[in-house]
């Protein structure tokens, strides 16, 4: 994508290329346009047109909206805090490898950085309650799979009901403004709806099935 001029090269830190949130947001926007049938050449033309027409700021707003956290809880956890909360992550190579593979933590400078502190806190609660690491990873994998299905459903609804109309007759600067506003408002709305429905499902179906008391009567 860099060769077509639609994605800037990474910032170099020594020999390592570092991609910013802006890079990730531009890549997400490109992927979204590709999913609607735009070729890379057509996307390059669109971006060049937006920038020529002064739409660079609007395009940046769309990218910023896509990159913005969907949740209000944006807390992270550094390596020291992760090791203190869940020592096995640092001391057990098998657990560490599995946690990294599941994106529970990220290896950084020899330690483990948690991009979402809430996940580490939840993991600690389950482990402290006696759940095995294997069962924890199995449960998290299942929850992530379901969450990704829900997220994809929301994305498809957005594409069908909003983006398709905005892209009709071309994405002008005004439409880019509208797209950025929609992303900013509907992402947290989608999160709130999902959390509310999940809470409702837990309340209605979360009762434990206890064994019935057996009668001594013949």
Separation of first and last alpha carbons in the chain: 78
More reliable by pLDDT, 108 or 217: 108
CA 17, CA 152: separation in Å to the nearest integer?
30
- Asked if the model's pLDDT at residue 96 lies above 90, the reply is yes
The model's confidence at residue 154, banded by pLDDT at 50, 70 and 90, is confident
- In this predicted structure, what is the pLDDT of residue 3? 44
Q: What is the DSSP letter of 70?
A: S
The model's confidence at residue 20, banded by pLDDT at 50, 70 and 90, is low
HSE-up of residue 47 (Cα within 13 Å, Cβ side): 21
pLDDT winner (highest mean) among 29-33, 67-71, 92-96: 92-96
Q: What is the DSSP letter of 9?
A: P
68 by DSSP, 3-state: which? Answer: coil
> What residue spans define the domains of the chain?
1-68, 72-170
- In this predicted structure, what is the pLDDT of residue 100? 93
Give the residue among 68, 62, 67, 65 at the shortest CA–CA distance from 171. 62
Q: 101-134: per-residue pLDDT in tens?
A: 998 999 887 889 998 999 999 999 999 999 999 9
CA 200, CA 194: separation in Å to the nearest integer?
10
Burial 117-152 (b: 16+ CB within 10 A, else e): bebbeebeeebeeeeebeebbeebeeeeeeeeeeee
- pTM (2 d.p.): 0.60
**DSSP E strands, 37-157:** 106-108, 111-113
- In this predicted structure, what is the pLDDT of residue 213? 53
């Amino acid at each position: 994508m860099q060769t077509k001029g639609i994605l800037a090269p990474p910032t170099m830190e020594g020999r390592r290329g570092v991609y910013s949130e802006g890079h990730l947001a531009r890549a997400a926007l490109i992927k979204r346009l590709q999913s609607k049938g735009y070729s890379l050449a057509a996307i390059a033309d669109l971006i060049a047109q937006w920038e020529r027409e002064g739409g660079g700021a609007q395009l940046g707003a769309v990218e910023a909206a896509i990159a913005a956290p969907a949740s209000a809880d944006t807390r992270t956890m550094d390596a020291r805090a992760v090791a203190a909360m869940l020592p096995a992550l640092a001391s057990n190579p098998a657990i560490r490898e599995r946690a990294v593979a599941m994106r529970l933590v990220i290896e950084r400078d020899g330690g483990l950085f948690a991009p979402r502190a809430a996940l580490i806190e939840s993991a600690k609660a389950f482990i402290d309650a006696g759940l095995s690491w294997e069962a924890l990873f199995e449960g998290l994998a299942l929850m992530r799979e379901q969450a990704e299905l829900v997220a994809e459903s929301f994305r498809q609804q957005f594409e069908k009901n909003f983006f398709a109309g905005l892209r009709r007759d071309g994405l002008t600067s005004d439409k880019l403004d509208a797209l950025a506003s929609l992303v900013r408002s509907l992402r947290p709305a989608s999160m709130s709806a999902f959390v509310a429905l999940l809470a409702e499902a837990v309340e209605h179906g979360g009762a434990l099935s206890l064994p019935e008391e057996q009668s001594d009567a013949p």
